[in-house]
Chains A and B, each alone.
Chain A
Amino acid sequence: MMKKGSDTIIERFRSITENPHEYAKSLQGQGHRVAGYMCTHVPEEILYAAGIVPVRILTSHVSQAMTRSYMHETYCSFSHDCAYQGLTHNYDFLDLIVTSSSCIHMGEAFNVWVRFAGFEGRSFLLPYPHIIETKPAASFMVSSFGEFKQFLEKIVQKPITDEDIEKAIRIYNRTRRLLKQLWEFLRRENPPITGPDVASVTLASQLMDKQECNQLLEQLIRSVETEPGKGATGARLMVSGGACDDLGIFDLIETLDYSASLVFIDSCTATRYFWFEVPEARPDKLQAIAEGYISRIPCPAKDNVPGTGEKKRFRFIQQFIEEFKPDGVVFLYQRFCSPQPMDVVALRPILDKLGIPSTDLELDTTLPVTQFRTQLEAFLEIIKREVVPLE
Chain B
Amino acid sequence: MSYTVRSWSEFKNYQTTCYRNYLFAPEGLRVMGSTWSVLAPLKGLGDDVYIMGGEPHAASTAGTFPEEAREDIVAGETAGLGFHSCSYLKLFVGEVVRDKIAITDKTIKEGYPKPDVIWTTHLCSQHSKWYQEVSRRLGGIPMYATDMIGGGNAEKDPKIVNYVSDQIEEGILWLEKVTGREYSDELFIKAARNEIKCLVLWGNICALNRHAPAPLDERRLIALFPPAVVDRTTDESVRLYEGLLKEVKHMVETGESVAPDQRYRIVYFGIAHTYGHPEMSRILREVGAEIVASVYTFGTCGNFKGIVDGKWSWDPIDPAWVDALDLSTRRKAIVELAKIVLGWPTWQGVRSYWALETMARAMIAEYKADGLLLAPSRSCETDFRNGYVGLQRIFKSEIPTIEYDSDQVDVRKMDLPGAQRKTELFVQLMKAHKERSA
Answer yes or no: A87 CB below 8 A from chain B CBs: no
Q: How far is the CB of A269 from chain B (nearest CB, A)?
A: 17
Answer yes or no: B136 CB below 8 A from chain A CBs: yes
Residues 79-129 of B at the A interface (beta carbon under 8 Å): 79-82, 84-86, 118, 122, 124-126, 128-129
Among the interface residues A129, A135, A143, A338, which one has the most CB atoms of the partner chain B within 10 A? Answer: A338
Q: How far is the CB of B312 from chain A (nearest CB, A)?
A: 17
> Which of B35-43, B181-189, B222-230, B375-383 forms part of the interface with chain A?
B375-383
Which residues of chain B are within 8 angstroms of A136 by Cβ–Cβ distance?
162-163, 166-167, 170
A72 interface neighbour in B126, B135, B385, Cβ under 8 Å: B385
Q: How far is the CB of B36 from chain A (nearest CB, A)?
A: 13
Answer yes or no: B335 CB below 8 A from chain A CBs: no
Contact between A344 and B80, CB atoms less than 8 A apart: yes
Smallest CB-CB separation from B151: which chain A residue? A101
> Which of A18-26, A104-112, A260-268, A322-330 forms part of the interface with chain B?
A104-112
Residues 135-153 of B at the A interface (beta carbon under 8 Å): 135-136, 140-147, 149, 151
Q: How far is the CB of A137 from chain B (nearest CB, A)?
A: 8
Answer yes or no: A252 CB below 8 A from chain B CBs: no
In the assembly, what is the distance between CA of A345 and CA of B82, in Å? 9
- Beyond A115-B353, A301-B125, A306-B144, whether A69 also contacts B80 by CB under 8 A is no
Which residues of chain B are within 8 angstroms of A389 by Cβ–Cβ distance?
none
A304 interface neighbour in B79, B84, B128, Cβ under 8 Å: B128
* Tally of chain A residues near chain B (CB < 8 A): 47
Which residues of chain A are within 8 angstroms of B171 by Cβ–Cβ distance?
306
Contact between B389 and A70, CB atoms less than 8 A apart: yes
In the assembly, what is the distance between CA of A304 and CA of B124, in Å? 13
Answer yes or no: B64 CB below 8 A from chain A CBs: no
Answer yes or no: A134 CB below 8 A from chain B CBs: yes
In the assembly, what is the distance between CA of A307 and CA of B141, in Å? 9
Q: How far is the CB of A298 from chain B (nearest CB, A)?
A: 12
Residues 312-371 of A at the B interface (beta carbon under 8 Å): 335-336, 338-339, 341-346, 348
In the assembly, what is the distance between CA of A130 and CA of B167, in Å? 12
Answer yes or no: A27 CB below 8 A from chain B CBs: no
Answer yes or no: B159 CB below 8 A from chain A CBs: yes
Among the interface residues B84, B379, B393, which one has the most CB atoms of the partner chain A within 10 A? Answer: B84
Q: How far is the CB of B116 from chain A (nearest CB, A)?
A: 14
Smallest CB-CB separation from B379: which chain A residue? A74
Answer yes or no: B17 CB below 8 A from chain A CBs: no
In the assembly, what is the distance between CA of A346 and CA of B390, in Å? 35
Contact between A129 and B147, CB atoms less than 8 A apart: yes
- Beyond A71-B389, A309-B143, whether A130 also contacts B132 by CB under 8 A is no
- Proximity string of chain B (380-407) to chain A, C-beta cutoff 8 Å, 1 when within and 0 when not: 0110011011100100000000000000
Q: How far is the CB of B338 from chain A (nearest CB, A)?
A: 12
In the assembly, what is the distance between CA of A336 and CA of B386, in Å? 13
Contact between A339 and B166, CB atoms less than 8 A apart: no
Answer yes or no: A140 CB below 8 A from chain B CBs: yes
Answer yes or no: A33 CB below 8 A from chain B CBs: no
- Beyond A104-B125, A341-B85, whether A111 also contacts B390 by CB under 8 A is yes
Answer yes or no: A308 CB below 8 A from chain B CBs: yes
Smallest CB-CB separation from B141: which chain A residue? A309
Contact between A309 and B163, CB atoms less than 8 A apart: no
- Beyond A127-B149, A308-B142, whether A134 also contacts B170 by CB under 8 A is yes
* Tally of chain B residues near chain A (CB < 8 A): 53
Contact between B126 and A345, CB atoms less than 8 A apart: no
- Beyond A134-B167, A342-B85, A342-B129, whether A308 also contacts B143 by CB under 8 A is yes
- Proximity string of chain A (247-273) to chain B, C-beta cutoff 8 Å, 1 when within and 0 when not: 000000000000000000000000000
Residues 252-311 of B at the A interface (beta carbon under 8 Å): none
In the assembly, what is the distance between CA of A27 and CA of B70, in Å? 55
Contact between B159 and A140, CB atoms less than 8 A apart: yes
In the assembly, what is the distance between CA of A7 and CA of B351, in Å? 45
Contact between A130 and B147, CB atoms less than 8 A apart: yes
Q: How far is the CB of B347 from chain A (nearest CB, A)?
A: 12
Smallest CB-CB separation from A136: which chain B residue? B166
A342 interface neighbour in B126, B143, B144, B146, Cβ under 8 Å: B126
Which residues of chain A are within 8 angstroms of B84 by Cβ–Cβ distance?
74, 335-336, 338
- Beyond A74-B84, A101-B351, whether A304 also contacts B386 by CB under 8 A is no
Smallest CB-CB separation from B377: which chain A residue? A74
Which residues of chain A are within 8 angstroms of B425 by Cβ–Cβ distance?
none
Answer yes or no: B160 CB below 8 A from chain A CBs: yes
Which residues of chain B are within 8 angstroms of A72 by Cβ–Cβ distance?
376, 385-386, 388-389
Q: How far is the CB of B7 from chain A (nearest CB, A)?
A: 37
Q: How far is the CB of A24 from chain B (nearest CB, A)?
A: 26
Which residues of chain B are within 8 angstroms of A144 by Cβ–Cβ distance?
159
Which residues of chain A are within 8 angstroms of B124 by Cβ–Cβ distance?
104, 338
In the assembly, what is the distance between CA of A140 and CA of B158, in Å? 11
- Beyond A104-B382, A304-B128, A304-B145, whether A309 also contacts B80 by CB under 8 A is no
In the assembly, what is the distance between CA of A270 and CA of B367, in Å? 50
Answer yes or no: B236 CB below 8 A from chain A CBs: no
Residues 104-127 of A at the B interface (beta carbon under 8 Å): 104-105, 107-108, 111, 114-116, 127
In the assembly, what is the distance between CA of A348 and CA of B128, in Å? 19
Answer yes or no: A185 CB below 8 A from chain B CBs: no
Answer yes or no: B178 CB below 8 A from chain A CBs: yes
In the assembly, what is the distance between CA of A103 and CA of B85, in Å? 14
Q: How far is the CB of B387 from chain A (nearest CB, A)?
A: 8
Which residues of chain B are within 8 angstroms of A134 by Cβ–Cβ distance?
147, 167, 170
Residues 162-204 of A at the B interface (beta carbon under 8 Å): none
Which residues of chain A are within 8 angstroms of B160 by Cβ–Cβ distance?
127
In the assembly, what is the distance between CA of A300 and CA of B122, in Å? 12
Q: How far is the CB of B395 from chain A (nearest CB, A)?
A: 14
Smallest CB-CB separation from B382: which chain A residue? A104
In the assembly, what is the distance between CA of A71 and CA of B387, in Å? 8
Which residues of chain A are within 8 angstroms of B379 by Cβ–Cβ distance?
74
- Proximity string of chain A (49-92) to chain B, C-beta cutoff 8 Å, 1 when within and 0 when not: 00000000000000000000111101100000000000000000
Q: How far is the CB of A44 from chain B (nearest CB, A)?
A: 21
In the assembly, what is the distance between CA of A107 and CA of B171, in Å? 28
Which residues of chain B are within 8 angstroms of A348 by Cβ–Cβ distance?
80
Answer yes or no: B133 CB below 8 A from chain A CBs: yes
- Proximity string of chain B (167-195) to chain A, C-beta cutoff 8 Å, 1 when within and 0 when not: 10011001000100000000000000000
B149 interface neighbour in A70, A101, A301, Cβ under 8 Å: A101
In the assembly, what is the distance between CA of A136 and CA of B159, in Å? 11
Contact between A107 and B351, CB atoms less than 8 A apart: yes
Task: List 9 A-B pairs, minimum CB-CB distance, nearest first.
Answer: A309-B143, A338-B126, A136-B166, A345-B80, A108-B386, A342-B129, A131-B147, A301-B125, A140-B163
Residues on A facing B (Cβ under 8 Å): 69-72, 74-75, 101, 103-105, 107-108, 111, 114-116, 127, 129-131, 134-137, 139-140, 143-144, 300-301, 304, 306-309, 311, 335-336, 338-339, 341-346, 348
Q: A335-B84, A342-B133 are in contact. List 19 more A-B contacts (CB 8 A).
A: A69-B393, A71-B386, A72-B389, A74-B378, A101-B149, A103-B125, A127-B159, A131-B128, A134-B170, A136-B166, A304-B129, A309-B135, A336-B84, A338-B84, A338-B129, A338-B381, A341-B85, A342-B85, A342-B129
- Could you show 13 A-B contacts with beta carbons less than 8 Å apart? A74-B381, A101-B151, A104-B350, A104-B381, A115-B353, A307-B142, A309-B132, A309-B141, A309-B142, A338-B125, A342-B129, A342-B132, A345-B79
